[in-house]
Amino acid sequence: MTNPYAPPQAAVRDIVDPSALSVPADRGTRFGAVILDSIIFSAMVYMPLLFGMLVGGGAETGTASPGLGFVLALIGLIVWCWVTVRDVRRNGQSIAKKILSIKVVRTDGSPITLGRLFWLRNVINMLLSVVPLYGLIDALFIFGESRQCLHDKIADTIVVHA
């Protein structure tokens, strides 16, 4: 028989130290991933746009036609979105993060959800970018001890070696 006057009993899980789980990604690798993701996005979206605009007009008219370029850019954007969403849902990695063997996780080491990554790391960050110098301030946070940019702090995420 249980004592109704006994103090409540609760099982408490230990909080995991994220530094014990994974090694934070270094600043240079994160910077390289941003540049590489930009190059990949440009190659998949902007290059087809330019190519389609130049080829779509035809040599006989001597003018560029945006129709084919927009169609090719839209196809490239759809493919880029599909690959990126697939990889982020699987393991918290963009295309460049996968190439450079880093990934985004929650600060407690648990996997990041697509919603958290999209809304908190990207949409909120994009909305805040209307504030003058926000982009610079966001980037300078990487030099803190935790190696978290401001968008990482907002989303409660860290970037670690995969």
**How much is the average pLDDT of 101-120?**
92
158 contacts 107 by C-beta, under 8 angstroms? yes
Q: What is the rounded distance in angstroms from the CA atom of residue 151 to the CA atom of residue 17?
A: 21
Tens of pLDDT, residues 83-92: 999 999 999 9
95 contacts 83 by C-beta, under 8 angstroms? yes
The total number of residues written for the chain in this structure: 162
Which range has highest mean pLDDT (6-20, 42-56, 88-102)?
A: 88-102
Tens of pLDDT, residues 44-53: 999 999 988 8
Q: For the chain, what is the mean pLDDT?
A: 88
